Amino acid sequence: MIKILDLKKSFGKEEVLNGLNLTIQDGEITVILGRSGAGKSVLLKHIIGLTKPDDGKIFVNGDEITSMTEKELNRIRVDFGMLFQEGALFDSLSVWENVAFPLVEREHLPKAEIRTRVAKKIDQVELTGMDDKMPSELSGGMKKRVGLARALVTDPKIVLFDEPTSGLDPITENSITDLILKTHEIEKITYVIISHNIKFALAVADKIAMLHKGKIYAEGTPAQFQKSRDPLISGYVSGNLNEIMHG
């Protein structure tokens, strides 16, 4: 379980997170929904210790991580996988080498086991036969698939997704949505996804948490969000940006 308490973060005079509280349950898909620039990526980077907060605490499976040293954080990060917005694949490595990277560099597993696990994950994200392709030869959707295979290859307990559908055409967006649901069905682990895409959030989430003005404005199931009469939530669900901008 991830528990975030009164998290605050500012960049210069700009207050991005303003006393944010959120609990993320094990094994669920939690989508943190918010407009671009609302601080979603900043929140995600706090959860994995890439950014330090100005104030507040984050507990990951009972361990308070904001006061941890880099060495202690590395111990916690072993439980995480992360899919970055543009994939963050290593340019000089092939698809196979990218997926194998955490196993080779961190886990130091025998070669045969690495080959088995990488082949399984590449197959799971439906990229069989693409092992030797370089990142520059891949489309945006394929890069995200490789990124997802790399995030899952270490069998993490928690996977963080940074805008998995941004910059994709509707067909690729649907296939990534299906892939996230399919891998979650297989892995049964905690998925924390940040997105501005309400259609995607309603399709995949067990729980949606809406980020607005540096705080969690509302939490609930997709059904509760769809039925909500709150002007900000209904504005977001219906895509009425005017309400969101001035809410």
Partner 1 sequence: MFRVPSLVLDWISEKVLHFGRITLLFLDAVRWAVRPPYRIMNILRQMDFVGTKSLSIIITTGAFTGMVLALHGYLTFRHFNAESLVGATVAVGMAREMGPVIAAIMVVGRVGSAMAAEIGTMRITEQIDALTSMSINPVQYLVVPRIIAGITMMPILASLFSLAGFIASYFISVAVLHISGGDFIYHVHDLLEMNDYTNGLIKSVFFGFFLTLIGCYYGYYATGGAEGIGKATTRAVVVASVTVIVSDYILSAMMFK
- In this complex, which beta carbon is closest to partner 1, that of residue 33 or of residue 89? 89
Asked if 38 contacts 215 with a C-beta cutoff of 8 angstroms, the reply is: no
> Cβ closer to partner 1: 74 or 139?
74
| Nearest-approach distance from CB 21 to partner 1, in angstroms | 24
b/e per residue 96-116 (b: at least 16 CB within 10 A) = bbbbbbbbeeeeebeeeebee
- Residue identified by tokens 């509280």 is 21
d(CA 17, CA 10): 7
Q: Minimum CB separation from partner 1 for residue 102, in Å?
A: 5
* Minimum separation from the CB atom of position 47 to partner 1 (A): 10
Rule CB under 8 A: which residues touch partner 1?
45, 48, 50, 70, 74-75, 77-78, 80, 82, 84-86, 88-91, 101-102, 105-106, 108, 154, 160
d(CA 70, CA 50): 10
Closer by beta carbon to partner 1, 94 or else 212: 94
Q: Which residues pair with 161 in a beta bridge?
A: 83, 193
Rounded least distance, CB 194 to partner 1, Å:
14
Measured from the CB atom, is 1 or 93 closer to partner 1? Answer: 93
